[in-house]
Amino acid sequence: MNISIKSIDGRKILSLLEERLDSACSARFRDTIVDLLEEDGQPLIVDLSAVGFMDSSGLGALFIAKKMARQRSASFVLVGLQPRVLVMLDLSRMTDLFEVFPSIEDALAKI
Amino acid sequence: MLDRDVIRVDIWVPNQKRYLKLIGNIAEEVIHALDDDGGDHEALAFHLNLVLTEALVNAIEHAIDESPEQLVRVSISVEDGDLCARVYDHGHGFDIDQIPYPNLDIPEEKGRGIFLMRTLMDAVRYRKSGSGNVLEMRKRLACGPPA
């Protein structure tokens, strides 16, 4: 699984550099986010701009990450969602669960 | 009667999730190869990719023999305006009618696979087949001749 993690002014940015967020990588993706949240509770921006497809396990991973961030009162936002990822959120009625920004720059300006 | 495509694809892949992408890509190519019938093939390609991914994960996770050398069979056919996707497994099987509709107002990490199949396809059946089981998903294509 290809992931890039960087820190900008106290905010972490995790970019998933995979075409698909599916059951082949969703557990590792979830665990990576959980580890980041456990480390220091810094605001976390998850960049999915490279992801053109997400299955229900990917959605589950995002849900667990959001739940954990909420428990730790940490900001957790998604950026760069492609149309099919948005459809998955909509089909599962999870669109309102997440704070979504068009780009990393937009998210950095808000959190 | 319209002159419609007939496509039949049978694929065997190892019992490993890293082949999900391959199956998804093949599924999308099948849809893109269809004649223009006025339907939204881009959406249909995504939907078939998604439901086959969900079905294949079920087959892999519930296989009795989890060795990665075991093969899982997937078939996709288009005939008489009817799309049919099947995933064969060698698990213990389950009663699909007993799978509850998820409460979407109370999100959970898991439990949406069958829901997505039922939402995106016209009919979903799960039954015994030979020494194993088959999950069959059907969808009527746009402008196809009457069933």
What is the tens place of the pLDDT at every residue in B40-49? 999 999 999 9
Model's pTM, two decimal places? 0.91
A22 interfaces chain B, CB cutoff of 8 Å: yes
Has residue B144 got a pLDDT over 90? no
Residues A41, A72: Cα–Cα separation, whole Å: 7
Of chain B, the percentage scoring pLDDT greater than 70 comes to 94
Q: How confident is the model at residue B4 (pLDDT cuts 50, 70, 90)?
A: low
Picking from B28, B16, B128, B18, the residue whose alpha carbon sits closest to that of residue B72 is: B16
Token readout for A73 is 């009162």
Q: Stretch A40-59: mean pLDDT, rounded?
A: 95
Report pLDDT for A55.
96
Q: Which one has a higher pLDDT value, A33 or B62?
A: A33
Pairwise pLDDT comparison (A43 vs B3), residue with the higher score: A43
pLDDT over 60 (residue A62): yes
Can you give the pLDDT at residue A40? 80
Quote the pLDDT of residue A104: 97
Q: Best of B112, B116, B120 to disrupt the A interface by mutation (most A CBs within 10 Å)?
A: B112
Q: What is the pLDDT of residue B3?
A: 52
Which chain B residues have a beta carbon less than 8 Å from that of A22?
A: 17, 20-21, 24, 53, 57
CB-based contact B110 A64, cutoff 8 Å: no
Retrieve residue A98's tokens.
């997440």
Rounded to 10 deg, the angle between the A83-91 and B41-61 helix axes is 60
What is the distance between the alpha carbons of residues A95 and B108, in angstroms, rounded to a whole number?
14
